[in-house]
């Protein structure tokens, strides 16, 4: 499955991508995660100029916090996420 195949319809598939950019925004006063930004490139866009499909993913507040905790719990960066 590639980014071009993703739709709003519920389905079970594996989406393979390369994580190019990972950015977190923290509130230093409250020590809380405000947002998370990732730049993802799928297997069709593997050249270094990013001519293929590119997806920017923005997550905020509790969703970002939950995803960040899960993402960091793997010990090494996961390369495959299951999208359902």
- What CA–CA distance (Å, rounded) separates 39 from 1? 17
Distance of CA 10 to the CA centre of its chain: 18
- What CA–CA distance (Å, rounded) separates 14 from 31? 34
Burial class (CB in 10 A: 0-12, 13-18, 19+), 73: exposed
Tell me what pLDDT residue 29 has.
86
Each residue's pLDDT tens digit, 18-62 = 666 677 778 888 888 777 776 666 665 544 444 545 555 555 556
Each residue's pLDDT tens digit, 45-57 = 544 444 545 555 5
73, pLDDT greater than 70 = yes
Q: What is the chain's mean pLDDT, rounded?
A: 63
Please tell me the pTM assigned to this model: 0.32
Under 8 Å between Cβ of 50 and 41: yes
Across 70-75, average pLDDT: 71
């Amino acid at each position: 499955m590639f980014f071009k195949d993703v739709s709003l319809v519920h389905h079970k598939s594996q989406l393979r991508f390369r994580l190019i950019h990972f950015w977190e925004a923290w509130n230093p006063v409250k020590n809380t995660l405000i947002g998370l930004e990732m730049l993802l490139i799928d297997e069709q866009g593997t050249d270094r100029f990013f001519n293929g499909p590119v997806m920017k993913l923005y997550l905020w507040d509790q969703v970002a916090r939950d995803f960040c905790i899960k993402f960091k719990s793997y010990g090494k960066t996961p390369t495959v996420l299951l999208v359902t």
